[in-house]
């Protein structure tokens, strides 16, 4: 977008656009539009979009994001719960949701951050998707931005989410540690080790020469996140000390 604007005689610095977006926020069209206003190229945001930044406009540029189906499949392969956010922003949501469901989509956002119920609840029922919600918090340090966790989900929606997520997360954890033991050579019949805590497991894994350069901070994150994990052939339970 900046390159196209420069060719149109409206040079902008990427640093300026990033500063407008703020620390930790990915710059987008609205930030480019604000930079155009500050530089005096347009009078307001509406003019920036209507003249240059609208879809297909002279300064519009297509990003390099992967297809939605590919993202959903990646999330599913790595033990995550794939949820479609802001489905009401889609011009024709039905076919998109249908294709994403075929790719493995688990849920869609129905409970909005403004307290309203999305009109796409029926589509969630049609494709047997979980109904979830989010605060839409982006860390903009804006007083009008909803706080994390500010969306009230019905208890039943939360229960159904956990019901679907538990086996997915447990299988992912099993695969992670199975791969770890394969890499460290601890899965042979003569080298089986029984661990009673994450500390033991982390120390056991870190004893491998392959992992000598592992960052200690990463290990601490694992210990903090999992607290204590018990794996068996039939179940996976996470115990958290309060």
Residue range 26-50: average pLDDT? 93
Within-domain flag for 161: no
* pLDDT score recorded for residue 26: 84
What is the spatial distance between Cα 215 and Cα 24, in angstroms, rounded to a whole number?
A: 23
CATH code at position 143: 3.20.20.140
- Report whether 119 contacts 130 (CB < 8 A): no
In a 13 Å sphere around the CA of 54, the CA atoms on its Cβ side amount to 6
Q: How many structural domains compose the chain? A: 3
Same domain, 126 and 103: yes
> Nearest to residue 198, comparing CAs of 153, 175, 160, 230?
230
Same domain, 149 and 84: yes
Residue range 56-69: average pLDDT? 89
Helix axis angle for 155-184 and 198-206, nearest 10°, is: 30
What is the spatial distance between Cα 164 and Cα 106, in angstroms, rounded to a whole number?
A: 9
Same domain, 75 and 149: yes
Same domain, 206 and 146: no
Within-domain flag for 169: no
Within-domain flag for 130: yes
pLDDT tens track for 146-164 = 777 778 788 888 899 999 9
Model-wide pTM > 0.95 = no
pLDDT tens track for 175-229 = 877 776 665 554 444 444 555 554 555 555 545 454 455 455 655 655 555 544 4
Q: Which domain holds residue 221?
A: 174-237
Quick count: other Cβ atoms within 10 Å of Cβ 120? Answer: 21
Same domain, 3 and 37: yes
Helix axis angle for 198-206 and 216-226, nearest 10°, is: 150
Sign of CA dihedral 165, 166, 167, 170: positive
Within-domain flag for 59: no
Within-domain flag for 20: yes
């Amino acid at each position: 977008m900046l390159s196209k604007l420069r060719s149109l005689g409206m040079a902008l610095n990427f640093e300026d656009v990033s500063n407008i977006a703020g620390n930790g926020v990915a710059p987008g069209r609205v930030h480019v539009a604000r930079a155009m206003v500050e530089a005096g190229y347009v009078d307001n945001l509406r003019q920036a979009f209507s003249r240059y930044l609208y879809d297909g406009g002279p300064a519009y540029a297509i990003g390099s994001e992967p297809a939605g189906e590919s993202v959903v499949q990646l999330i599913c392969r790595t033990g995550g719960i794939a949820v479609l956010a802001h489905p009401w922003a889609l011009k024709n949501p039905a076919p998109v949701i249908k294709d994403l469901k075929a790719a493995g989509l688990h849920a869609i956002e129905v409970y909005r951050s403004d307290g309203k119920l999305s009109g796409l609840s029926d589509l969630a029922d049609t494709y047997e998707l979980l109904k979830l919600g989010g605060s839409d918090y982006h860390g903009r340090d804006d007083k009008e931005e909803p706080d994390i966790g500010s969306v009230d989900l019905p208890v039943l929606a939360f229960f159904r989410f956990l019901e679907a997520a538990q086996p997915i997360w447990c299988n992912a954890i099993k695969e992670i540690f199975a791969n770890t033991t394969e890499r460290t050579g601890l899965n042979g019949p003569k080298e089986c080790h029984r661990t009673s805590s994450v500390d033991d497991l982390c120390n056991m894994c870190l004893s491998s020469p392959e992992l000598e350069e592992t960052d200690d901070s990463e290990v601490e994150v694992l210990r903090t996140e999992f607290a204590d994990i018990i794996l068996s052939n039939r179940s996976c339970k996470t115990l958290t000390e309060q």
